Amino acid sequence: MKAYFSKSWNRSIQPRKQRKYRYNAHLHLKQKLLSAHLSAELRKRYGKRSIPVKKNDTVKVLKGGFKGKVGKVNSVSIKKLSAYIDGVESSRRDGTKVFVPVKASNLMIIELNTDDSRRIKNE
């Protein structure tokens, strides 16, 4: 396992190689790992189960301490594989608000940002 990155790691059953794949993956592959489920309404409309999260999507948090919160995606970090959502914040000791990173697998997209015409090809 001396290579920097190999697609064969994804086929492995070993959790350490799965983690290594996610950590060392190229950014165009990490973009796909940032997919979140669509709501039932959007699933019927677009005929897809999941789509990568993008800025200005409206999402609902499904798991964790902020479960049930709904907000717009403020930013997405492809490198860290996480999304930052308005309303999902914690405060520092000095009182400043900080966005809490949320994994895309713990989100459900309620409303899509359709500014990009190539994002959804069905409509």
Q: Where are the domains of the chain?
A: 36-111
**What is residue 47's predicted lDDT score, i.e. its pLDDT?**
93
**What is residue 11's predicted lDDT score, i.e. its pLDDT?**
86
Task: Specify the pTM.
Answer: 0.87
Is residue 6 within 8 Å of residue 26, measured between CB atoms? no
C-alpha–C-alpha distance, residues 97 and 58, integer Å? 20
Using CB atoms within 10 A of its CB, is residue 100 exposed (0-12), middle (13-18) or buried (19+)?
A: middle
C-alpha–C-alpha distance, residues 106 and 115, integer Å? 24
Strand partners, 20: none
Tell me the CATH number of domain 36-111, given options 3.40.50.720, 2.30.30.30, 2.60.40.1260, 3.40.367.20.
2.30.30.30
10-residue mean pLDDT profile of the chain (123 residues): values are 78 90 92 96 94 96 96 97 96 96 97 88 60
